[in-house]
Amino acid sequence: MTVKTKFRLKGAGRDAYLKLVTAFPLASIKSDEQLEEAQKVMDQLLARGEPNGGEEMYLDALSDLVAAYEDEHYAIEPASDADMLRHLMEAKGVTQAQLSRDTAVPKSTISEILAGKKHLSRQLIHKFADYFRVDASVLAASF
């Protein structure tokens, strides 16, 4: 059965895509061994440089399959408020005292967050997001 759609590849992009699908089919990853093979294929494609249309489409699909397997088998817990704030402070090279001075957030509040005794409020999320120049969603994992 052939289904015709407007979503298709032509020419060299089509040839590259079909060659890749033949070498490593796009199917759900069921084991760590298949995951390792998929990662090798992705690494090889990325090492080539700029992918053509077919290679890019294949790489996107294979990346989605890898992500689905990893999400199910190797889920990573979101970073705590303390971990995220600590990371941003280290990346910017600021101390608690400097952060307090620059944001007008009491040093005791920052210390409590870093000690895991207090969570970020919406107000603090926006204040710190502006200060560190990151999207508020980076700090809003607990909401």
3-state secondary structure 38-85: HHHHHHHHHHCCCCCHHHHHHHHHHHHHHHHHHHHHCCCCCCCHHHHH
Say if CB 26 and CB 61 are below 8 A apart. Answer: yes
Contacts of 31 (CB under 8 A, 6+ apart): none
Quick one: what percent of the chain has pLDDT higher than 90?
69
In this prediction the pTM is 0.56
Domains in the chain: boundaries: 11-73, 81-139
- Give pLDDT tens digits for 59-118: 999 999 999 999 999 988 888 999 999 999 999 999 999 999 999 999 999 999 999 999
Q: Phi and psi at residue 78, in whole multiples of 5°?
A: -65, 150
Give domain 81-139's CATH number out of 3.40.50.300, 3.40.50.1390, 3.40.50.261, 1.10.260.40: 1.10.260.40
Residue pair 136/129 in contact (Cβ under 8 Å)? The answer is yes
pLDDT class of 10 with cuts at 50, 70, 90: confident
143 pLDDT higher than 60: no
User: Which pLDDT band, with edges at 50, 70 and 90, does 2 fall under?
Assistant: low
User: CB-based contacts of 22: which residues, under 8 Å, 6+ apart?
Assistant: none
Torsion of CA 78, 83, 89, 90, to 10 degrees: -100
Q: What is the pLDDT, as a whole number, of residue 141?
A: 67
Residue 7 confidence (pLDDT): 67
